[in-house]
Amino acid sequence: MEGGDIVDNLTLAKKLREFASRLEATGVNLYRVKAYRRAAALIQMHPRELSELLAEGGREALAEIPGIGMHLAYTLEHALQTGEIRSLAGEEETLPDDRLTSLPGVGAVMARKIKDGLGTENLDEVERAARDGRLENLGFGP
């Protein structure tokens, strides 16, 4: 697990849910979003740590988990080895940046709306937009 920060199933499931939310914000097919969320639930309840399964049987062992399949097995293998969720389809290139979602109450959908509306993800610029009313013009606020 060199370089990875995912050490247990709970952490992996949490990262998959976050990835699914970020995917949802891009408007990708909801089936894919649901697949990641379903995989997160399966992983969280799995009796064995997936890192152990990967070490013992490789990607194929992950793909044998009911409901996972080869595509998700690749994603899980990469996540367990690097700490990053990366899909074969490459959606991560269009995902919203984590800077905005680090703000309290700002999820992936809201972050995308702010980025698209303001043309920036810079936190200082977003703060200025909140003060001068531009965020309110986008539908945020009272």
Q: What is the pLDDT of residues 22-31, one digit of tens each?
A: 888 777 778 8
Is the model's pLDDT at 6 over the cut of 80?
no
Domain 9-93: CATH class, spelled out: mainly alpha
Q: Residue 103 — pLDDT band, cuts 50, 70, 90?
A: confident
Q: What is the pLDDT of residues 7-45, one digit of tens each?
A: 799 999 999 998 888 888 777 778 888 989 999 999 999
Cα separation of 125 and 129, whole Å?
A: 6
Ramachandran area for residue 41 (φ above 0: left; ψ -120 to 50: alpha; else beta): alpha
CATH 1.10.150.110 domain extents, the chain:
9-93
Return d(Cα 78, Cα 76) in angstroms, integer: 5
Under 8 Å between Cβ of 102 and 39: no
